[in-house]
Amino acid sequence: MKVAEKIKELREQLNNHNYNYYVLDNATISDFDFDRTLKELEKLEKENPVFFDSNSPTQRVGGTVTKNFNTIIHKNRMYSLDNSYSKEDLFDWEKRVEKVLGTSELEFTCELKFDGASINLTYENGQFIKAVTRGDGFQGDEVTNNIKTIRSIPLIIKEEFVSNFEMRGEIVLPIDGFIKMNEERILNGEEVYRNPRNTASGSLKLQDSGEVAKRPLDCLLYQVVTEERKYKTHFESLENARKAGFKVPKTITLAKSIDAVFDFVNYWDAKRHDLPYETDGIVIKVNNLQQQEELGYTAKAPRWAIAYKFKAAQVSTILNEITYQVGRTGAITPVANLDPVQLAGTTVKRASLHNADQIERLDIREKDTVFVEKGGEIIPKIIAVDHTKRPENSAPTMYATKCPECDTVLVRTEGDAKHYCPNEFGCAPQITGRIQHYISRKAMDIDGLGGETVDLLRKEGLIQNYADLYDLNVAQIIPLERMAEKSAQNMIAGIEKSKEIPFEKVLFALGIRFVGETVAKKLAKYFKSIDRIMTATFEELIKADEIGDRIAQSILDFSSDLGNIQLINRLKSYGLQLEVSAAVLENQTEILQGQIFVVSGVFYQMSRNELKKAIEDNGGKVSSSISKKTNFIVAGDNMGPSKLTKAQDLGISIISEQDFIYKIS
């Protein structure tokens, strides 16, 4: 037999064994024979390097070291999911879906929501290409080498499937594997891992893929993303993905009504503790893929899917003391310091109390016995007080009147739930917090500088605000604790590089109250430069898309502050991007200003997302459902018949994809 053929045969054998063992859970070869075959293949590949293949089973053992994970922009954004907590929530969702689609003939899939780390696997021509973490949904870290070590993930597709696609799934650590890992750590005198989810996501970012290979990670797949329109339903696409070699949980079920969905919920709420992996709910999706497209996405989540969260775990413990934390905006958060207690696999010592109203509403006092609940969020919360256990000398909680950090008298404006420390430029956590926000990933994303170092730099008197970062030099940093020349250089290089960050991110980084990521994007698009924003009047501000009174007022407060004006001028002098770049402007016009579009059907020249982006880039607005306000419907093939009737009834212009392209060109 020729070497090439032998190599091919061994690879196929090993791929099959991997599949049988790790996906089907059905061993077809002894460990000994598997290792022997793998060694044989390794030897042949070594002797014949021309046949190297990055998707060979020999590449799964790991051993590569990744120092810095590349950031990769997702081709298709990875959204999060809206949550629901009751049957009513699900009915409301169903109603919204029916309204957009104009039909009540719906079919849903029900899936378990496994709790791990989400991953996006890219395949081209049936071959595994790369794996990227969800990150912020727009971009994540490339963890290809680490993911390859997970043997239930096929590197080459077994059967005919779509050829170019992304497979989305959850990297999970089975509970028994997690327990074993911890037993070993205890033996070695190491600290135990807190829970399977964090351990799974932490594993993806290990530098040595050989270490990852040792962990019993698994990957459960739940979505196929492809432009090839081979399958009509989500269910069908997953069934075929399973045939192609992916580990798609068999628990996926079709349901024709929310009542049927609820049967699934009730069944798994009781049975979920028998599963080998942790779950925190179920995910319900509209099964028909074209309907999914019609429904589209909100700013955060698909409209065609919703998560149902199982009731959270609860426990009672004693609240020892209420302390107060100061956030970067000066907002005060009361914190309950608890007698440590085990809850859903973690030790809980602290819980958030939100604000003064919450403390008053629940009448929470120090030394009370309280019920603590942990849902999906990392910080547990107190949901009630056990009044039967209240000590006799108990007195109502007096909320803090002064800032615990700088002793300034706290303020609370009408209608605001939170107290604030108004000492914006003199209160340590506010100074540090603002700079930490500025350098954070979703903002300026400065490499080589972390939150703790910011605090250190402030304590050393080297920075008081984010503009000061740009005056730092290597010589000032090296003498600091735990700083070497190399890390100092990296930090300065990272700061320097942030001068290229686009305007919308800089705007978000400034930390103007209520100006989050989405608002910053809208403002950047509408005003195009910081100068226009800083000089805009209240009336001008509220004209921008989605800018209400509260945000406008906050921007005015920011722009009328002399300190802020000076900061912005300094940022300008350092060369930061304080206006929308020419390249971005070039693709934008205002020709669709004030016009509202609904997009429906299947398109050929542009993807649906490109079409929507083109509408927005040219000043138009995209809406998900037809109403009197709609100006145009861009109709592709297979536009829903009920939509068509509605559009005709309302006398809305229906234009084709081509008409639309003429319109903007």
- Which residues are catalytic, by number? 113
For the bound state, the minimum distance from the C-beta of residue 199 to ligand AMP, rounded and expressed in Å, comes to 16
For position 332 contacting Zn ion by CB under 5 A, the verdict is: no
Residues whose CB falls within 8 Å of the CB of residue 257, separated by 6 or more in sequence, listed in order = none
Tokens coding 577: 């991007």
Residues 62-81 as x/- pattern, contact with ligand AMP by CB under 6 A: ------------------xx
- The secondary element (H helix, E strand) that includes residue 71 is strand 71-73
For position 170 contacting ligand AMP by CB under 6 A, the verdict is: yes
Q: Select the residue interacting with ligand AMP from 114, 123, 246, 632 (CB under 6 A).
A: 114
The torsion of the CA quartet 534, 536, 539, 543, rounded to 10 degrees, works out to -90
Q: Which of Zn ion, ligand AMP, none lies near 406, with the C-beta cut-off 5 to 8 A by kind? A: Zn ion
What letter represents residue 243's amino acid? Answer: K
For the bound state, the minimum distance from the C-beta of residue 252 to ligand AMP, rounded and expressed in Å, comes to 8
CB nearer to ligand AMP: give 307 or 578.
Answer: 307
For the bound state, the minimum distance from the C-beta of residue 304 to ligand AMP, rounded and expressed in Å, comes to 11
- The secondary element (H helix, E strand) that includes residue 347 is strand 346-352
Residues 347-386 as x/- pattern, contact with Zn ion by CB under 5 A: ----------------------------------------
Does residue 84 contact residue 90 with C-beta atoms inside 8 Å? yes
Stretch that binds ligand AMP, among 6-14, 108-116, 345-353, 622-630 (CB under 6 A): 108-116
For position 534 contacting Zn ion by CB under 5 A, the verdict is: no
Q: Select the residue interacting with Zn ion from 403, 544, 598, 634 (CB under 5 A).
A: 403
For position 204 contacting ligand AMP by CB under 6 A, the verdict is: no
Residue-level length of the chain:
665
CB nearer to ligand AMP: give 110 or 343.
Answer: 110
CA distance linking residue 413 with residue 418, whole number of Å: 8
CA distance linking residue 149 with residue 204, whole number of Å: 10
For the bound state, the minimum distance from the C-beta of residue 359 to Zn ion, rounded and expressed in Å, comes to 20
Does residue 276 contact residue 196 with C-beta atoms inside 8 Å? no
Assign 173 to helix, strand or coil.
coil
Can you say whether the dihedral through the CA atoms of 92, 97, 98, 100 is positive or negative?
Answer: positive
For the bound state, the minimum distance from the C-beta of residue 168 to ligand AMP, rounded and expressed in Å, comes to 7
DSSP per-residue letters across 594-629: T-EEEEESB-SSS-HHHHHHHHHHTT-EEESS--TT
**Number of Cβ atoms within 10 Å of the Cβ of 95:** 12
For the bound state, the minimum distance from the C-beta of residue 82 to ligand AMP, rounded and expressed in Å, comes to 8
For position 197 contacting ligand AMP by CB under 6 A, the verdict is: no
The size of the interface with Zn ion (CB under 5 A), counted in residues, is 7
Q: Residue 324 forms beta bridges with which residues?
A: 334
Q: Which of Zn ion, ligand AMP, none lies near 284, with the C-beta cut-off 5 to 8 A by kind? A: none
Residues 226-255 as x/- pattern, contact with ligand AMP by CB under 6 A: ------------------------------
What residues from 405 to 434 belong to the interface with Zn ion (CB under 5 A)? Answer: 405-406, 408, 421, 423, 427
Outline where 396-468 has alpha helix (H): 428-439, 451-459
| 355 closest CA partner among 347, 364, 346 | 364
For position 303 contacting ligand AMP by CB under 6 A, the verdict is: no
Stretch that binds Zn ion, among 404-412, 459-467, 539-547, 628-636 (CB under 5 A): 404-412
Q: Terminal CA-to-CA distance of the chain, rounded, Å?
A: 61
For the bound state, the minimum distance from the C-beta of residue 104 to ligand AMP, rounded and expressed in Å, comes to 24
Residues 266-285 as x/- pattern, contact with ligand AMP by CB under 6 A: -----------------x--
Stretch that binds Zn ion, among 190-198, 397-405, 516-524, 609-617 (CB under 5 A): 397-405
For the bound state, the minimum distance from the C-beta of residue 132 to ligand AMP, rounded and expressed in Å, comes to 13
Q: Select the residue interacting with ligand AMP from 118, 233, 240, 287 (CB under 6 A).
A: 118
145-176 burial code (b ≥16 CB/10 A, e <16): bbbbbbbbbbbbbbeebbeebbbbbbbbbbbe
Helix, strand, coil share (%) of the chain residues, nearest 5:
40, 20, 40
CA distance linking residue 584 with residue 395, whole number of Å: 60
Interface residue list for ligand AMP (CB under 6 A):
80-81, 111, 113-114, 118, 134, 170, 222, 283, 307, 376
- Residues forming contacts to Zn ion in the complex (CB under 5 A) are 403, 405-406, 408, 421, 423, 427
